[in-house]
């Protein structure tokens, strides 16, 4: 869904939740994906697709975005390309990735859009309290002085290396090259992770996952009585795996339930039922002294009223308009006063067949 926003779709884009069949020569039979409820809900706004975990909406979102474009967006979150196949099933969570990889990916949403390399050891000290090792400080910023200096230094060093390779010579320790090396030494205690999604994309994506908890498949987490939680449930075919990926700004937690040798967990053992309660029990303790955090709306976001049925900008006579977030430049079309709430755009109608 984050990739869909980058591809030009918006939170109110209508996607048809209807039966779909794919014929693939690599499969023994046609692929007929369906929702967990085995029901179909017709034209559905993008936001509602993720909030209520509609599989058929997710598949059509990736189909409209494009498999390669959607896959490349997923890879920004640190996944190994070998684990992400080039097919529509990745929209339903088919890649086999570890809980650590999932936690790292969701940390991008938690921290505002940056990809951080996970580490296990912060500090090592001896019996005298002397620090023998300390992990680099992590600094999240876009245009801070240290990050800009480090990027320029990296470019300079890369240019010097490329020049040396082209000349087929070993770089000489000339006086003018010592300053960058000295500067590198002073910057080496700080790591500046790269931004992989914009702050605006992060904000809207997070609002989707906050709604998952407020009124969607993750609403059991309401028992924590917090407004700063976001997450997504997941359930594999035949309930062989159940998981919940969720976070508060400072803590990302992934819970997975399944057997070492995959087998059915039992009827109704979905992510929201099997994995989410574990997540809740842990976060109840982990967040005990954490103040609630309200993320400010970043630049590049527009708030507008829409018609909840058509997804278009609300007309003056719309009686059930709701507020929605949009990226600048990606507002939906405006609804005329004569537009009927049951009308569909052509591209949505095409999805019926």
**Residue 127 belongs to some domain of the structure:** no
Q: Is the C-alpha dihedral spanning 26, 30, 34, 36 positive or negative?
A: negative
Query: Based on the domain organization, do 211 and 287 belong to the same domain?
Result: yes
Are 221 and 59 in contact, with CB atoms under 8 Å apart?
A: no
Query: Based on the domain organization, do 290 and 318 belong to the same domain?
Result: no
Domain boundary among 250, 267, 294: 294
C-alpha dihedral (45, 50, 56, 62), degrees to nearest 10: 90
User: Tell me, what's the pLDDT at 29?
Assistant: 67
Strand, coil or helix: 195: strand
Query: Based on the domain organization, do 265 and 306 belong to the same domain?
Result: no
Query: Based on the domain organization, do 311 and 289 belong to the same domain?
Result: no
pLDDT in tens, 114-123: 999 999 999 9
User: Tell me, what's the pLDDT at 203?
Assistant: 98
**Residue 281 belongs to some domain of the structure:** yes
Contacts of 71 (CB under 8 A, 6+ apart): 84, 86, 90
| Both structure tokens of 309 | 């049925």
Q: Is the C-alpha dihedral spanning 249, 65, 60, 99 positive or negative?
A: negative
| Residue written as token pair 């924590």 | 224
Query: Based on the domain organization, do 144 and 178 belong to the same domain?
Result: yes
**Residue 337 belongs to some domain of the structure:** yes
Domain boundary among 167, 191, 215: 191
| Both structure tokens of 72 | 């490349």
User: Tell me, what's the pLDDT at 262?
Assistant: 86
How many folded domains does the chain comprise?
3
pTM: 0.84
Residues in the chain predicted with pLDDT less than 50, given as ranges, are 170, 175-187, 340-353
Closest CA to 299 of 211, 201, 208: 201
What is the separation of C-alpha 116 from the centre of its chain, rounded to a whole number of angstroms?
A: 14
User: Tell me, what's the pLDDT at 26?
Assistant: 60
Contacts of 235 (CB under 8 A, 6+ apart): 36, 53, 241, 242, 243, 269, 270, 271
**Residue 72 belongs to some domain of the structure:** no
Chain length of the chain: 353
Cα separations (Å) of 45 from 1, 26, 42, 282? 12, 32, 10, 33
| Residue written as token pair 């999932």 | 102
Query: Based on the domain organization, do 240 and 288 belong to the same domain?
Result: yes
User: Tell me, what's the pLDDT at 152?
Assistant: 76
**Residue 227 belongs to some domain of the structure:** yes
Query: Based on the domain organization, do 173 and 217 belong to the same domain?
Result: no
**Residue 25 belongs to some domain of the structure:** no
Are 86 and 62 in contact, with CB atoms under 8 Å apart?
A: no
pLDDT in tens, 104-144: 999 999 999 999 999 999 999 999 999 999 999 999 988 88
Query: Based on the domain organization, do 212 and 247 belong to the same domain?
Result: yes
Query: Based on the domain organization, do 145 and 185 belong to the same domain?
Result: yes
**Which domain range does residue 177 map to?**
133-191
User: Tell me, what's the pLDDT at 182?
Assistant: 47
**Residue 242 belongs to some domain of the structure:** yes
Query: Based on the domain organization, do 156 and 184 belong to the same domain?
Result: yes
DSSP E strand boundaries for 165-300: 190-191, 230-235, 241-248, 251-258
Query: Based on the domain organization, do 187 and 216 belong to the same domain?
Result: no
Q: 343: burial class by Cβ within 10 Å (0-12, 13-18, 19+)?
A: middle
**Residue 23 belongs to some domain of the structure:** no
């Amino acid at each position: 869904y984050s990739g869909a926003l980058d591809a030009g779709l918006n939170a109110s884009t209508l996607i048809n939740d209807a039966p779909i069949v794919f014929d693939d020569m690599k499969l023994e039979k046609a692929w007929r994906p369906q929702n967990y409820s085995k029901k179909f809900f017709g034209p559905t706004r993008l936001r509602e697709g993720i909030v209520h975990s509609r599989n058929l909406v997710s598949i059509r979102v990736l189909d409209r975005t494009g498999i390669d474009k959607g896959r490349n967006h997923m890879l920004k979150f640190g996944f190994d390309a070998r684990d992400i196949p080039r097919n529509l099933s990745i929209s339903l969570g088919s890649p086999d990735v570890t809980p650590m990889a999932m936690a790292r990916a969701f940390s991008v949403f938690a921290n505002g859009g940056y990809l951080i390399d996970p580490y296990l050891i912060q500090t090592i000290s001896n019996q005298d309290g002397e620090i023998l090792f300390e992990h680099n400080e992590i600094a999240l910023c876009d245009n801070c002085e240290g990050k800009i200096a480090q990027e320029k230094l990296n470019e300079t060093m890369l240019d010097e290396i490329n020049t040396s390779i082209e000349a087929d010579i070993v770089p000489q320790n000339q006086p003018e090259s010592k300053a960058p090396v000295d500067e590198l030494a002073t910057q080496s205690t700080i790591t500046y992770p790269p931004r992989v999604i914009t702050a605006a994309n992060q904000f809207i994506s997070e609002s989707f996952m906050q709604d998952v908890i407020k009124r969607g498949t993750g609403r059991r987490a309401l028992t924590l009585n917090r407004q700063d939680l976001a997450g997504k449930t997941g359930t594999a075919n035949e309930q062989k795996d159940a998981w919940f990926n969720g976070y508060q700004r400072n803590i990302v937690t992934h819970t997975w339930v399944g057997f070492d040798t995959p087998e059915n967990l039992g009827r109704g053992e979905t992510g929201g039922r099997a994995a989410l309660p574990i997540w809740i029990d842990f976060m109840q303790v982990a967040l005990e002294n954490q103040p609630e955090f309200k993320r400010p709306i970043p630049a590049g976001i527009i708030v507008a009223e829409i018609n909840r049925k058509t997804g278009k900008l609300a007309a003056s006579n719309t009686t059930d308009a709701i507020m929605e977030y949009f990226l600048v430049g990606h507002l939906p079309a405006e609804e005329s006063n004569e537009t009927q709430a049951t009308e569909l755009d052509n591209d949505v109608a095409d999805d019926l067949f």
